[in-house]
Structure 1
Amino acid sequence: MKLQYGFHAMHEAWPDTQWQALFNRAWPAYQRWFLKKGIGQQPTYLQSLRQLRAYMPELLPIYERLCELAGGGDTAARFLSMYCPPPYYVSCSQAVWTKTTPFLIRNYDYHPALLEGTVMHSSWLGKPVIASGDCLWGVLDGMNSAGLVVSLAFGGRKLVGIGFGIPLILRYILETCRDLADAVAVLRHIPSHMAYNITLLDRLGEACTVLVAPDRQVQVNPLAIATNHQQLVEWPQHALATATLERESFLIQSLANAEQTAEEFIHSFLQPPLYSTQYARGFGTLYTALYRPDLGSMTLLWPHRTWQQSLEAANPAPEG
C-alpha cells in the first residue's frame, strides 16, 4: 500500500467556518466509529458535560462553540466531549534530543484511512497553539507559544477504563499549561480511559515521559523516550507486531551514542526500525513530526518531502 499525503492546515484563532468544514468532511467516519457498539454504550450528554466541567472547565466555551458549529446534535456533542470514547490502538515512537538545542521528534504510526491529517493553528484561550489534530479538536502532538511540546504514544495495554480520550487531555495541556511541571500535574489529575505514554518538552529543555493508565498511578520517567509499552510488555502480540522493544532499544542506543549528530538522529526516524511501512496492518508511519521550542516551529517529515509550519503561519500542505 502506498502512503497518500492527505494533509491540510487550518488557521482559526476561534472555531469558525474552517472547523465547521472539517466537521462536515470527517463526521460521517467519526460517527460510524463512535456508534459502532450503539449509542447506548456511550455516556449521556449530561454525564459527559458534568465530567468536562469537573476536569477541564476552561475548555467549556470552546466545547459549546464546537457543538454549535456541529449542528447541536446529541451524538456529536457526546463525541466531542471525548469522555469514555471507544478504544483506539496506534503505534508510535517519540524522543527528546537534549545533547544540543533540545527538540522533540516523533513518528505517528496508524492506518492511512483513519488519519484526520489536520494541522491546526489556533488561539482559543489566548495562547497560540499548533498541533496535529485528532477527533476534530484533540491533539496527537503539538506545541504552544510558551514552548511546551506534547506527544502521545499508545501504552500497549488492552484495558479500557473510565476517563477522557488522551487527545483531549493533550489539547487541555497546550491550552492551559506553560511548562513541564504544569503538564505533569494535569496528567496526574485528569483520568485517561486507556494507557498512554506522553512525552513532554518545555522551553527550558526540561523533558520526561509520563505513563498514564485508567487503573494505576501515573508514573514519571525522566528518560524522555517512548514506544508502545509501559516498562513491561503486557500485550505480547501487539508488542511483536509493532516491534516496540526493538524501537525502544534503538532509541536508547542512539541517544547514548556520543558521536551521533542531531541531523543523524532526525534522519533515523525516516528509516527502519523506527519508520514502518505496515500500512495495511494499521502500523505504518504516516508522518514524522519535529518540534523546536526555541524556534516555535513544527516540521512534518517524510522520506522525500518536508512541510514546515510555525506558530505564526500556516503553510500549504505538500502535494502527493
Structure 2
Amino acid sequence: MEPFQVDILQLRKRPYETGVALGKHVKHKPIFNILNRVTKPEVDIQNVEQIFSTYSPHLIEELHGLSESLEIPYKKTAAMFSGYDVPKFQAMGCSAYMTDSYYVRNYDFSPVLYDHVFSLLDNEQSFASAGYNLQVIGRHDGVNERGLVIGLHFVSFNDFQIGVSAWTAVRIVLDCCKTIEDAVSLLKEIPHAACYNFSIADEAGQKAVVEASPSKVVVRDGEGEVSLACVNHFSSKEMRDKNRTQIERSIKREKYIKTLQDLSIGQNEVVERFKEKESPLFFTDYDEFFGTLHTFSYSFKTKNIVTCLAGSTDELSFDFHQWCLGKDLAEQSLYGNIER
C-alpha cells in the first residue's frame, strides 16, 4: 500500500494572486520538475494569448502570477502550464454517470502525472468552481457556482494537432459557462488538440456527452434519457472511426454503468459503486497509466460535493453553495492509499 495525498487549496483571490499562490504551492512539488521535463521549452505565445483573450482572459493574469512566484520566464510558464501544444500521454481512463439529480465520475491515470491538488477558486473575473487540478491551471473535472459539472475522458490521438488540451478546456468551461448550451457552444469553438469526450450536466437536469476531435465535434444530448454514461470511446456514427483499435474495456465499463439506471439508487450509493476496489470501474494498473485516483460527484438538488481518493474510507462531503457564500472548509488535505 502506498500512501496517497491531495492538498485542498481554497483561493478567494484575483487571478494574478491566484497564480502566485498556485506557483508557491507547486514550486517544490515533484510535479513541477516533471512538467518541466515533459513539456516543450516554449510554445506559440501569441496563439496561447489569442485563445485565452477570446475565452478566458483572466488565465493570462494567472500565468503571469505563476511566472512571478516560480521565478521563471513568462513564456516558459505558458509552455509548462497553459495546456497548449502539450505532449501525448496514452491510456487515460475515466468513467462518468449522469442523472437529472447528480453526477459521479472516476479519474484513472498515474499518480506520477497527477497534481495532487483539489482547489476551490473564487474571483470576480470568473465563476467560482471546485475541482481537481491538472497541469496546475487545468482541471480533470469540477463544478462551478452555476451548478454546471464537467469531466474529461481521453479517446484517441487521431487528427492530433497543436491546440488546447482537454483539461484547459474543462477549466475554461467551469470559469465561463452557465449551462450545457454555453458549454457545448464553447467546446465547438475551441481548437482541440486531441480526441476527448466531455461529460457535462447542469442543475436544470440537462446532461450531454460532447465528442470532440480536432476536426469535428458531435453532441449526444441525452434528451429523454433518465441517465447518461460516458467513458473513453466515441459512440456516434460520425466519430467512431476516430476511436482507438482496442476499446473493449471502455465498452465493458459503459455497459456496467448503464445497469445502474435500473437500480434507482442515489448519489451516495453510486459513489460507492465507483470507488469500491471490487467495482468494474476501479482499476489498479497504475504503472500502465490506468489506475483509479479519485472519485468526484455533485448533487444538483443538495448542491453537495462528495469526493474521495483511491483506497480511502473517508469522503469529503460539503455544501458547495455555502462555500461560494464564504464558508471555508476546515479540511486541508484528502488521503488515500494506492495498491499496485
Q: Is the 8 A contact 2:20 2:65 kept in 1?
A: no
- Structure 1 residue aligned with 2:229: 225
Q: Is the 8 A contact 2:81 2:135 kept in 1?
A: yes
CA distance in 1, matches of 2:253, 2:263: 19
SS of corresponding position for 1:79: helix
CA distance in 1, matches of 2:295, 2:38: 25
Per-residue deviation, residues 236-291 of structure 1 (Å, max 9, x unmatched) = 24x24xx1010011112222x15555544332212431111212211111111111
- One-letter amino acid matched to 2:251: L
Per-residue deviation, residues 112-135 of structure 1 (Å, max 9, x unmatched) = 222211111111325321111111
The Cα of 1:318 is off from its aligned counterpart by 3.7
- One-letter amino acid matched to 2:106: N
Equivalent runs, 1:1-320 vs 2, <5 Å: 2-14=1-13, 15=18, 18-24=21-27, 25=29, 26-35=31-40, 39=41, 43-73=43-73, 74-89=75-90, 90-98=92-100, 102-124=101-123, 125-222=125-222, 224-231=228-235, 232=240, 234-237=243-246, 239-240=247-248, 243-255=249-261, 257-260=262-265, 262-269=267-274, 270=276, 271-301=278-308, 302-303=310-311, 304-311=313-320, 312=323, 313-314=328-329, 315-319=331-335
Q: Is the 8 A contact 1:289 1:299 kept in 2?
A: yes
CA distance in 1, matches of 2:58, 2:21: 22
Greater strand content:
2
TM-score normalised by the chain length of structure 1 = 0.87
Q: Is the 8 A contact 1:164 1:192 kept in 2?
A: yes
CA distance in 1, matches of 2:12, 2:141: 19
Q: Is the 8 A contact 1:20 1:69 kept in 2?
A: yes
- Shift in CA distance, 319/169, structure 1 to aligned 2, threshold 3 Å: closer
CA distance in 2, matches of 1:64, 1:212: 29
The Cα of 1:50 is off from its aligned counterpart by 2.9
CA distance in 2, matches of 1:11, 1:228: 31
TM-score normalised by the chain length of structure 2 = 0.82
CA distance in 2, matches of 1:204, 1:116: 31
Per-residue deviation, residues 210-234 of structure 1 (Å, max 9, x unmatched) = 1111122333342632111111372
CA distance in 2, matches of 1:127, 1:276: 33
Q: Is the 8 A contact 1:211 1:221 kept in 2?
A: no
The Cα of 1:295 is off from its aligned counterpart by 3.1
Per-residue deviation, residues 135-190 of structure 1 (Å, max 9, x unmatched) = 10101111111111111111244542132011111111111111111111111111
Q: Is the 8 A contact 2:20 2:62 kept in 1?
A: no
Q: Is the 8 A contact 1:162 1:214 kept in 2?
A: no
CA distance in 2, matches of 1:145, 1:8: 21
CA distance in 1, matches of 2:234, 2:37: 30
Q: Which runs of 5+ in 1 are unaligned?
A: none
- One-letter amino acid matched to 1:19: L
CA distance in 2, matches of 1:87, 1:192: 13
- Shift in CA distance, 63/17, structure 1 to aligned 2, threshold 3 Å: closer
SS of corresponding position for 1:4: strand
Per-residue deviation, residues 71-104 of structure 1 (Å, max 9, x unmatched) = 2513222223222211223101011133xxx111
CA distance in 1, matches of 2:170, 2:211: 13
Q: CA RMSD in A?
A: 2.3
Q: Is the 8 A contact 2:207 2:221 kept in 1?
A: no
- One-letter amino acid matched to 2:96: Q
- One-letter amino acid matched to 2:206: E
- Shift in CA distance, 262/77, structure 1 to aligned 2, threshold 3 Å: closer
SS of corresponding position for 1:218: strand
Q: Which runs of 5+ in 2 are unaligned?
A: none
Percent identity of the aligned residues?
A: 21
Q: Is the 8 A contact 2:208 2:228 kept in 1?
A: yes
